Amino acid sequence: MKKIDVIFLSALISLTLIQSCSTVIPIKTQFSEIKEVAKCIADGDSHGQCNANNAFINARISSSNNSYFEVLGSMELPDAIDNSKLLRYSGKSSDLNNNNNRFNRYANKFKQINHDASYNREAAKIAQNALVSDSNKSIHELYSKQLNSKQLIREDVSGTDTPTIEFNTDNFNAFLEDISEADAYGGINSLQYAAMQRMSLSESETEIDALGSLVEELSYTKAYFKAYFRHGKFIQGKIKVSELYNKLKAKLKSEAQFLTDDQITEMADGLFKKLTGKEYAKACTSESSCEIAFAGKLEATQFITRAGVEYGFPHITVSVDPLAEKKISVTEIDWNKIGAEVAKVYIEAVGDKIIGLPADPRSTACKINSTLCYSEKTGGISADDFASVGEHADKVDTLVSNAVGKAIRGGGWISLNNEAIACIIESAVGTAAKKVAEKVAYCTYSYMSENKNAVVPIMTLNEIRVKIKR
């Protein structure tokens, strides 16, 4: 079969500096003039497949952003989680089968979520506040406006106002800090459990669906962060064997002066083995100055995007040498890059939940929802076209990110001479554009796969303006 090359118009970006403290960046995203493709793009359950044989039709839960934010903002967090009021994923729960079979679909959707009794109300509150913020609303709005069916399928665009999504740099930075703090203290897990408990008590279908959407999105968020931060195993320290052992003995002697020297030695031997996994007498086979790791094994796991690209938090090594000129040395980290990647990870999570395209079998998304794992048999497009979707979307990401970066750095923003904020904002907007471009490309390839003799879809441009303000 002859390979049909689908030619895409590159995403076009024009920049207009309107005042010293604010920049508007119109992002012109391509869409097809063929109505079947446009409808496929706008359909939240199409998963990028325009044909009728859609194996992924039941793979996700959709909910309007309005009900999602309204319900999330009004939800009262419980002081504790009542296990009898949680959705059950193995077996049946009498609480959830009172003439309401809507929970059956959620039991299937969320069967991989397990309650681990680690509810933290204060951390959940941080997560809740972050998610109802204007910054998070802007992220969701950016996706919904780009995928809005009225804009995609309309034939006459004259006189139509171009939607504008606003990002306030200070607020967006604060949002990322809050969501990172919530994740560090288990707030994302905790908020998910609170939402699950509320679902089991609700009699409102709108509320149930909004909470279901929240629970699903939090599944993506926590799994993506966990993979990016290598399950917490990204730091490893080294210290001289004798130095660590002597520090342990000194600490024991100062805290428990009633202990004899033999007792202190015995306890220090035990603590040393617990910290290092080795006996002190056998820890150094050469000389007493040799070093030993004390923070466990580093995790090789990284976050893997829908398209199969890997990246993760860098490994950190801490070295302690009391005799060196620099007593403690730590692996240097590019925090500008980290901030941008955290933004990317979160926006990838939201985008994958909202758009839900078939994903690379190695991806983090596939670990959350195995029904979304791509194969040539069920994916609707060939393996070569699947790879092309990612390549096209990456080009859009680069173009948009570069345009946003130039606007921030070159727009005369004296007050925004902050490379970290620039990296974060450009990465955020670029990632959102990339996720939408993935669906545009997937729908187009799917249409061409179904209609072998069809003319290559002509791509028109719709415009979404992103306003960046400080």
Does any domain span residue 365?
no
Does any domain span residue 99?
yes
- Do 400 and 441 reside in the same domain of the chain? yes
Would you say 255 and 399 are in contact if contact means Cβ atoms under 8 Å apart? Answer: no
The predicted structure's pLDDT at residue 292:
67
Comparison of pLDDT for 156 and 432, the residue scoring more: 432
- Do 321 and 389 reside in the same domain of the chain? no
The predicted structure's pLDDT at residue 112:
55
Does any domain span residue 352?
no
What is the C-alpha radius of gyration for the chain, rounded to an integer number of angstroms? 26
Does any domain span residue 349?
no
Does any domain span residue 281?
yes
CA 184 distance to own-chain centroid: 14
- Do 320 and 383 reside in the same domain of the chain? no
Does any domain span residue 368?
no
Our count of domains for the chain comes to: 2
Instruction: Give how far Cα 27 sits from Cα of 187, 237, 381, Å.
Output: 34, 46, 27
Q: What SS3 state is found at 95?
A: helix
- Do 21 and 143 reside in the same domain of the chain? yes
Backbone angles phi, psi at 202, to 5 degrees: -85, 145
- Do 261 and 209 reside in the same domain of the chain? no
DSSP structural state of residue 347: H
Residue 320: strand pairing partners: 239, 328
What end-to-end distance do the CA atoms of the chain give, in Å? Answer: 54
- Do 146 and 89 reside in the same domain of the chain? yes
For 329-387, the pLDDT digits (tens) are: 556 677 777 888 888 999 999 999 888 899 999 999 988 878 788 988 888 889 999 99
Domain end (from 335, 364, 389):
335
Domain end (from 275, 306, 335):
335
- Do 112 and 220 reside in the same domain of the chain? yes
- Do 138 and 266 reside in the same domain of the chain? no
Residue in this structure with the two tokens 């089968």, named with its chain if needed = 97
For 1-31, the pLDDT digits (tens) are: 334 444 444 333 333 333 334 556 666 666 6
- Do 273 and 177 reside in the same domain of the chain? no
Domain that holds residue 191: 12-230+374-469
pTM for the model: 0.78
Please give the Cα distance from 78 to 468 (Å, whole number): 37
Does any domain span residue 443?
yes
Q: Would the pLDDT of 221 be above 90?
A: yes
Percent of residues, the chain, with pLDDT higher than 90: 16
Does any domain span residue 341?
no
- Do 169 and 296 reside in the same domain of the chain? no
The predicted structure's pLDDT at residue 4:
41
Containing 281, the helix (H) or strand (E) segment is helix 280-283
